Structure 1
Amino acid sequence: MLTYEDCVGLTGLEEEEIEAIAQHEHLPEIVAAEMGCCLVGKLGGELQIMQIIRDDIEAANDHHHPEEALHWKQVLTHFSQIHHLPECEAA
């Protein structure tokens, strides 16, 4: 039987990136892991994940949660570095 950690390891994503998808899409994390795995393997999917994380940053700012917004900004920066996306895309 696979654990959640096993599933995360198979996605090509970090746990925080899966959490961002789960929050954005209002999904359980295991379902978000599957969605994220599909997006990573799809042309343009990484850019979609970046937009999801940006949306989470915006939502945190809109709800006056600066610490959460900072967390998602760090996740976005890490994601862009790991997936070799241009820095301008992460801004």
Structure 2
Amino acid sequence: MLSIQDVLDYCDLDRGEIEAIAEHEHVPMTIAAEISEVLLCTPEGVCQLHVMFLENMRNAYDRGDMLHLQDLAESYQHLQRSHPLPSCH
């Protein structure tokens, strides 16, 4: 049986980025890891990943959860460096 660390080691995203997908899609981390691999295959998928982060951050802000907002912002900065926003249509 694979551990969550095994799954994360396979992904092109880090734990915080996978957690953000899981939060946005309301799925377990393992499913979020699979989703991440699909999203990273196309520019549109990368755009969708960026939108997920922005929506999560907006939701955290709306709830007044500034600690979570800060965690998301730090993970989003990493995403922006490792998978910059392409020209989306």
Which position in structure 1 is the counterpart of 2:32?
32
Gaps of 5+ in 2: none
User: Equivalent residue for 1:48?
Assistant: 48
Instruction: Tell me if 1:76 matches 2:79.
Output: no
Q: After the TM superposition, which parts of structure 1 deviate over 6 Å for at least 4 consecutive aligned residues?
A: none
Structure 2-normalised TM-score?
Answer: 0.86
Which deviates more from structure 2 when the two are superposed, residues 3-12 or residues 51-60?
Answer: 3-12
Percent of aligned pairs with the same residue? 28
TM-score, normalised with respect to structure 1: 0.85
Residue 43 of structure 2 aligns to a residue whose secondary structure is: coil
Gapped regions of structure 1 (runs ≥ 5): 87-91
User: Equivalents in 1 of 2:71, 2:43: separation in Å?
Assistant: 27
Deviations 1:6-62 (A, max 9, x none): 211222010110100000110011111111111112332111111101111000001
Q: How far apart, CA to CA, are the structure 2 residues paired with 1:9 and 1:47?
A: 23
Aligned length: 85
Aligned-pair Cα RMSD in Å: 1.3
